[in-house]
Amino acid sequence: MNTAIGYTQYGLTDTAKVWYDWNGVSYPTPSLHGGELGTRYASESDNKKTTLMNKLNLEFLIDKHHSVSFHSVFTLANGHPSDPVKEKSLGKKTDFDSRMHSWTVGLTYDYRTANDKFLNSFTSRYYWYSMNTSYQNIYVNIPVEDIHLNKNSIGFSNAMRYRFTPFFMAKLSGGYDVRIPSENELLGDGYTISPSERLLPERNLSVNAGLLYDLSGIHPSNLQIELSGYYMYLQDMIRFTKGIFGAQYQNFGEMRTLGVEFEVKADVFPFLYAYGNVTYQDLRDVRKQEEGSNLPNATKGKRMPNIPYFMANAGLEFHKENLFGGKGQNTRLFVDMAFVEEYLYDFEMTENAKRRIPRSTTMDLGFEHSIMNQRLFLSGKIKNLTNATVLSEFNRPLPGRSLGVKLRYIFK
């Protein structure tokens, strides 16, 4: 069992009286109190948040064939925002104290044959969370609404593994799972992510199947080849969306996913490791109606935006002990490459309205050298070595080439 308690104090000061467009032209802020971050209010917040997380894992071995385990994760988050300047700008209070609890508890039963040829693992879970806070609409002067959420659900999954040979196996799993919103998704970060007081848990029905060829510990190459496919039907998907004032996490009806992944990794030589993987996933909007209405959904069947559908990674790592002489030293040199195919940053309703994030290929080059039997480490990495233009979700630019160096010491 482990327990962690955290206290965070953070704030945002935005009282500038002008804002600038990309051409350098200045404009007065909508509020007399200031505020240049695309909002209609100024801000000088002093927010406090207390969090507690407890994890408990228990396992009981009945015999060499049967075992049971119990898992529990409990989270508590209390938020206390304060922003008097924002209240003056809007003429009303819009940030309120919040209290969130969540608890996920699971019970797993494992069965394996004597020769470990077959393994079956069945898990049942219980999910619960509550949210108590208040909500005030920024745009409309309506009474403050008290929010008291109390949600619970159950989930289950079953996973099987069968070894055809000691190094070749098949895997199959399926289940109905729930993902409780995190405290950051519910409460926001006090800066660019707005609170989402009414956020509902995600519910996911999934099936996964795969084949694994694994020579780890059997052959010097430690070759691993894995092919897997998956299907998911996701309800109340939690999606990060951009709004008029910052961004927030929102529930997005229903989504269907079909995907396939392939990965190869091996020690090509005793001093050279290589890996490569490729992923293709087809995510589609399957909502029949628009959110909160009876109107037909115009984007039904269209690919989900802001999620890449085709990706590939590859890399090489050279490693050798005492490359420069001496004792107790280890050196690693590595290069990683990442490819992401062009994808959408919003739904495309017509052929003339292209909303796409361009294809990108990036390469990272790095090193790590340790001495004193891996106590003292010096490492560095050049990210985006070719200074390629890369855009993230929502079509936002990412940094170009950058260099970082790190010194680390481990007490043993």
pLDDT digits (tens, 9 = 90+) for 158-200: 999 999 999 999 999 999 999 988 877 877 766 667 778 778 8
Burial of 242 (0-12, 13-18, 19+ CB in 10 A): middle
Pick from 51-65, 238-252, 391-405: least confident: 238-252
Q: How confident is the model at residue 294 (pLDDT cuts 50, 70, 90)?
A: confident
Is the pLDDT reported for residue 7 higher than 70? Answer: yes
- The pLDDT of residue 243 is 58
- The pLDDT of residue 115 is 87
- Give me the percent of the chain exceeding a pLDDT of 70: 97
**Roughly how many angstroms between the first and final C-alpha of the chain, as a whole number?**
24
- The pLDDT of residue 381 is 97
- The pLDDT of residue 250 is 87
Distances (CA, A) of 120 to 60, 113, 204, 226, 354: 16, 9, 21, 20, 47
Q: Both tokens of residue 130?
A: 């509550």
Domains identified in the chain and CATH numbers: 2-8+43-270 (2.40.170.20)
pLDDT tens for 354-384 read 889 999 999 999 999 999 998 999 999 999 9
> CA 22 to CA 36: how far, in whole Å?
13
The more confident residue out of 385 and 292 is 385
- The pLDDT of residue 244 is 53
The more confident residue out of 232 and 398 is 232
Map residue 374 onto helix, strand or coil.
coil
Q: How confident is the model at residue 290 (pLDDT cuts 50, 70, 90)?
A: confident
